[in-house]
Amino acid sequence: MRYVTIAELSGLISKNLWKIPHDIDVVVGIPRSGMLAANMIALYLNTNLSDIDSFVDGRIFKNGLSRGNTVRSCNVIRKVLIVDDSIGGGTSIKEAKRKLESIQNKGYEYTFCVPIATSIGAKMVDLFFEIIDEDRIFEWNLFHHGFLGNACVDIDGVLCCDPEEDDDGEKYLAFLQSAKPLFLPTVKINTLISCRLEKYREQTEKWLNDNNISYQNLVMLNFPDKASRVKWGKHGEYKGEYYKKSECDLFIESSRNQASIIATISKKPVICVETNELVFPSVTTAKKIKRRIRHYIPNTYNLAQHIIHPSA
């Protein structure tokens, strides 16, 4: 699994900018995600920007606000860069090409570009910067992709801000009712798992409903009060054990410390929004040593008996 951040996308574009013809007249993005990459490229090149539908209708945006009216005609345009954020099977690119057929008499020169491609998708475009064939998750559509249907998601620190104060009383109840949203998913989540107490289920469910968050399961802690939960203290372990037993293959967590524990226990990947990274299960010291020396020993050699474990 590969998690790509917006910062990584920007770096990928800037490092490969030399591959793009610098005499491009306009960069045309394929909405929605393609507009992110298209805007970055247009800014780097200081050239015009448009989206595919506007371009077909003859409208683009100028480079720079100092030029007055930011919309102008496409009559002086010749070289066009069509951009999407990625390509897999090529559905979006094919649809873009279909739309461009309506203006084929204009004589435009098209170059199709994506920063990220699969091996198959790379054959459908003129330019690509990196091939990723493994499962891909992008920061810019993390909460709007169908894979959430097979994911566990934390609540506080992910869907809403963390409480400033948890008095296990009136102040906390007020927070539960009016918590400020952070990331609001637009697709159904498999499981919401929280360290909130079961006694606050009604308030939690109301907030989720008020914010149009769809989910299949809501897992909460069954302790009588905050003091009991704090004394217990195994928040990451509790999430990790549930994730391990579930059929879900992704967990989105707020805390970096808990993300590490969850990944270690479940042996599955965790995305931490606090550090914006994909956390993988930790590797034991013995396994690290095996990996380092594996290339220097015949496969028939018994590594296990020559590894010294801490307990030895």
Q: Name the residue with higher pLDDT: 165 or 86.
A: 86
Assess whether 172 and 260 both reside in one domain: yes
Q: What is the mean pLDDT of residues 202-210?
A: 97
Residue 84 lies in a domain: yes
Say which DSSP state 114 is in: E
d(C-alpha 154, C-alpha 195), whole Å: 9
CATH number at residue 169: 3.40.50.1000
Residue 33 lies in a domain: yes
CA distances from 226 to 2, 89, 159, 182 (A): 37, 50, 21, 24
Assess whether 36 and 154 both reside in one domain: no
Among 117, 137, 157, give the residue marking a domain's end: 137
Assess whether 92 and 35 both reside in one domain: yes
**Verdict on whether the full-model pTM lies above 0.85:** no
What are 108's two structure tokens?
């435009």
d(C-alpha 196, C-alpha 219), whole Å: 9
Which residues are registered as beta bridge partners of 221? 197
What confidence tier does 95 reach under pLDDT thresholds 50, 70, 90?
very high
* pLDDT 10s digits, 122-151: 999 999 999 999 989 999 999 999 999 999
Residues 197 and 221 sit within 8 Å (Cβ to Cβ): yes
CA distances from 37 to 9, 173, 199, 273 (A): 8, 42, 45, 22
Among 104, 137, 170, give the residue marking a domain's end: 137
| Total domains in the fold of the chain | 2
* Containing structural domain, residue 104: 2-137
Q: Count the neighbouring beta carbons within 10 Å of the beta carbon of residue 162.
A: 14
For 230, the 3-state DSSP assignment is helix
* The pLDDT of residue 63: 58
* The pLDDT of residue 62: 65
What are 265's two structure tokens?
């226990």
Residue 79 lies in a domain: yes
For 24, the 3-state DSSP assignment is coil
Residue 132 lies in a domain: yes
The DSSP bridge pattern shows strands 59-61 and 71-73 to be antiparallel
Per mean pLDDT, which range of 175-179, 243-247, 298-302, 303-307 is the poorest?
A: 303-307
* The pLDDT of residue 296: 39
Assess whether 9 and 83 both reside in one domain: yes
Assess whether 90 and 211 both reside in one domain: no
Assess whether 127 and 151 both reside in one domain: no
Assess whether 157 and 274 both reside in one domain: yes
User: Counting beta carbons within 10 angstroms of the beta carbon of residue 12, is it exposed (0 to 12), middle (13 to 18) or buried (19 or more)?
Assistant: middle
Assess whether 173 and 271 both reside in one domain: yes
CA distances from 144 to 195, 268, 312 (A): 24, 21, 49
Q: Which residue intervals of 151-200 are DSSP H helices?
A: 170-178
* The pLDDT of residue 50: 96
d(C-alpha 113, C-alpha 41), whole Å: 10
